[in-house]
Every structure is written in C-alpha cells, then in structure tokens.
Amino acid sequence: MPLICYVNGEFVPAERAAVSAFDHGFLYGDGIFESLTVSDGRIFKLGEHLDRLEKSARALRLALPENRDRLAGIVKEAVRRSGARDVYVRIVVSRGAGYPLLDPRVTTGPSLVVLLHPPTPPAETGSSYRARGAGLRLKTAAVRKVPAEAFEPRVKSLNYLNNVLARIEAIESGHDEAILLDMRGFVAEAAGENIFVVSAGRLKTPRAQQVLDGITRRTVLDLARRAELPSEETDLTLYDLYTADECFLTSSFSRIHAVAEVDGRPIPAPGPITQQLRRQILELERSEGELILAGGTP
C-alpha cells in the first residue's frame, strides 16, 4: 500500500503531498515540526511530542490549526490508511501561504502537514541509523550552535540551516555525524541528535537550556533514574567526549546509537550502558507505545 499523508484537511498519497510555493515555511522557515516513529503498529510518545509542538507554537506565536485531540487523530488515521507497521512520521505546522513579506499578517492561515516516510533512510545517505551495528564516527564542526540569547533552542523550528551545514562538513570529511559546540566552546549536540557520555559509571548530557530538549533524551534520563544509574545535566567539553568510557546519540528516529570515534579518538562501542539503555528503549516502545494498527505485538 502507498503511504498516505495529510495536507491541510485532505489525506493524499505521499507523492501528491504538497503545499503552496508561497508558504512561509518554505519562504522563511517560519514553522515548527515534530518527528516520531511507529514500530510494529505502535506509536511511541505521541503525547510528549504534541506537548512540545504546542510549546513551540506558543513560543513562536503560531496558532495551531487543530486542537490536540484532532492532531493525534490525524496522525493515527494517516498511519491506519497507510497500513504501515513501521514508519517515520513528521508533523509540520507553518505560518501558511501568503505574500512574500516577513509580516505574518499577509498569511491566510497556518498549514498543517503530516508526512509518513519509510523507517530506513535512502541508501545514498551511506548509513542506516537503525540497521548499522557499527558505532558512529563524529567530527566537531566549525559551525556553532545558535545561542539561546539569539533563539530558544528548545523550539523545534523549521530552520535547521546550522545543523545542515554541520552535517555537510561531517559528510565531506568522511564522518557519519557532526558535533556542534555552543558559543562558549562547550559541547551542545550532534547535528540531528542529543549526545550523552558515560564516565566512571556516571551518565552525563548537556543541559536542555542550550540544546533541544529531546523526547528520547528525556526518556534516557528517566530510565537512568529508574535504574539508579547516576546521571547529570552539565557542561561537557570535547575532552569529556575524547576520554569517555562510552558515548551515544539519541533521537526519536535513531533511538540510541553508539559512538565509536570523536575527532579521531576511539571510544569503546557499543558499551554496556549504551546497550542496556537501547534495550530498555525498545522494550518501552513495545510496552508503552499505543497500538494503532491491528496485529501488533501484544
């Protein structure tokens, strides 16, 4: 069955999913998004993603075109119509179509799009974040993380240009992913993921005030508390990464992926805590993920 998407009130085949060329999300990056997954017919953390979507919308003074229950229903219906047991979902809300001026009063109203994608990236990316067993090779990018003084990093906006440039830099140097430093020189995050290290049995990650407050990031910290694994949100330097016992990245798409190298320094991968947390995340998806497609694992 073809994947079915939702565009401004209509469910359409993925190849027909399109918005106006005058949409301010396209013209200015004026919008927000959320990414999440469906695995074996179960959708994971939909409520938390909608919480963050609502907060991002409030921060940008962007009116959501549908209420929370309706948004959840649209996502689930798109998955059901697609019959997709495993799928990558993206919810996008933009300021909408209008005259090409920065003034939001020229737009006719917000656009709402729910996109469904296969769960594995195209082969030309050179890596499948889920299937590839090897740890990732990271490179510190020259591009810096936009500081909180300029734009709130907890807003998941459509403007990811810094992250794209960092990823290009990593790709062109033969690496899998980039690390962005903040303006103080501390580790912020990877181009598309949050970052964790394990040192002397302690789990550490940068504070959410300087990075995206990732849903999987929060889940990992919660799992650590449940397991009484010492953890903290703190400033990290590149030295902390270079000398870590373990290092891994987190996102809703990749879950937890081990890091094997940072700037040419090898790191044991995958380490025991990384493997334990990844198993627990996958178990949570099965036990707490909402079954929306019949036939999923009980």
CA–chain centroid gap for 87, Å, is 14
Residue 129 has pLDDT above 80, yes or no: no
**What per-residue confidence (pLDDT) applies to 103?**
94
What amino acid is encoded at 223 in this protein?
Answer: L
Joined tokens for residue 62: 């962007």
* CA nearest neighbour of 262 among 178, 171, 201, 164: 178
281-223-204-269 Cα dihedral, nearest 10 degrees: -40
Domains and CATH numbers, the chain: 4-119 (3.30.470.10), 125-286 (3.20.10.10)
Quick one: what percent of the chain has pLDDT higher than 70? 96
pLDDT bucket at 128, cuts 50 / 70 / 90: very low
**Residue 76: count of CB within 10 angstroms of its CB:** 18
In 3D space, the residue among 241, 196, 186, 201 whose CA is nearest the CA of residue 218 turns out to be: 196
Q: What is the pLDDT of residues 262-277, one digit of tens each?
A: 999 999 999 999 999 9
Q: By C-alpha distance, which of 91, 113, 83, 136 is closest to 254?
A: 136
Mean pLDDT in residue range 186-206: 97
Global pTM reads: 0.93
pLDDT of residue 293: 86
**3-class DSSP state for residue 277?**
helix
pLDDT at 209 over 90: no
